[in-house]
Amino acid sequence: MFWQLLLNAFVAASIAVPLAIGCAVVYWTVGLFDFSLGASFVAGGYCSFVLVRLIGVPFFLALPGGIAAGAILGILARAFVYRPLTRRGSNPLLLLLASLGIYIAFQNTLSLVFGDATKSLLSGPVQAGYDIHGGRITCIQLVTVSGSICFVIVLALLQNLTKSGKILRAVANDSTLADIVGIPANRWILIAHAIAGGAAGLSGIFAAMTVDISPTIGMGFFMIATVAAVVGSSGGVGGVALGVLLIACAGQFGVWKLSSQWQGSITFAILLVFMLLRSQGGAQPALRSQA
């Protein structure tokens, strides 16, 4: 039982990890909890679904397609909504509300087009999979987990070792100062939104592969991702990934003791406890006020 729950937690975490890192990237750069990433998430899932199941494109080509769909949505949201609002000097809360509006409009458009029934990316019989200490994991789940781990490693390297990572951190730290020393801050913020959208799209593909998708699942995953981004924020990419894992484990092992309907509540209980403890001080000054 223990091993099965641990494996389940790993699989659930793997799906949400890219999305959570996307949330964190946007949050680090512009200080926004971007609900439109929930839209990028379902966009990625549905784009890959259309490519694979309706058009018949092989899976490895659908993967970049889904990521691109998420990234494009992220770019559009930044270019046409957040950028004009930021330039006008809007309250950050207005940006958050606008991102909620984008999410609601997009999710329901998908419901109109595809219906609310769940869709699965892969057809065919479920393979038996592997046995680890009495816990089972299928091939698809294994692909998701390893894909997710690769993603974390690549992004962690990007963030810490490359010049782009440094520039992004500079823009996040002070975009005006970055502008002054010749870094085109706006373009880099757009890039951050594109990365976040693409990551969300990847998460959507993982979800479509592993647990099937419907237009409404974006919100649940987005909330897990946001909580993880808050919890792991100070630890960089790796910290966020660990945050997701922590939440997934709490959810799975909580289900062991409670009933499964309380999984969402457990996530939020973690968030609330964490925010309340950390807001009293600690190494995260951004938690209390951005303004």
Partner 1 sequence: MDYLIHILVFVGIYTTLAISLDLVAGHTGLLSLSHAAFFGLGAYTDALFATHAGMPFLEGIAAGAALAVLMSFVISLPSLRLRDNYFVIATFGFQMIFFSILNNWMSLTRGPLGIGGIPLPVILGWKVESHLEFLILATLLACFAFFVVHRITSAPFGRVLHAIREDEGFAQALGKNTLRFKVTAFAVSAAIAAMAGSLYGRYITYIDPTSFTVMESILIISMVIIGGSSSSWGPLIGAIALVMLPEALRFVGLPNGVAANLRQVFYGALLVIMIMFRPRGLVGRYGFGR
User: Which residues of the shown chain bind partner 1 in the complex (CB under 8 A)?
Assistant: 31-33, 81, 84-85, 90-94, 96-98, 100-109, 111-112, 116, 219, 223, 226, 230, 259, 261-262, 264-265, 268-269, 271-272, 275-276, 279, 287-291
- What backbone torsions phi and psi does residue 119 show, to the nearest 5 degrees? -120, 145
Shortest Å, Cβ 288 to partner 1? 6
Shortest Å, Cβ 75 to partner 1? 16
Q: 163 or 257, CB closer to partner 1?
A: 257
Shortest Å, Cβ 104 to partner 1? 3
Shortest Å, Cβ 160 to partner 1? 26
Q: 202 or 231, CB closer to partner 1?
A: 231
Shortest Å, Cβ 257 to partner 1? 15
Q: 128 or 276, CB closer to partner 1?
A: 276
Kindly write down the DSSP assignment for every residue of 111-158, as one continuous string: HHHH-SS-B-S--SPPP--EEETTEEE-HHHHHHHHHHHHHHHHHHHH
Cβ atoms within 10 Å, residue 277: 10
Residue 182 structure tokens: 């010749």
Q: 65 or 251, CB closer to partner 1?
A: 251
Residue 45's closest CA among 73, 76, 13, 7? 73
Q: How far apart are CA 240 and CA 228, in angstroms?
A: 6
Residue 30's closest CA among 286, 279, 288? 286
Q: 31 or 184, CB closer to partner 1?
A: 31
Residue 6's closest CA among 241, 249, 266? 249
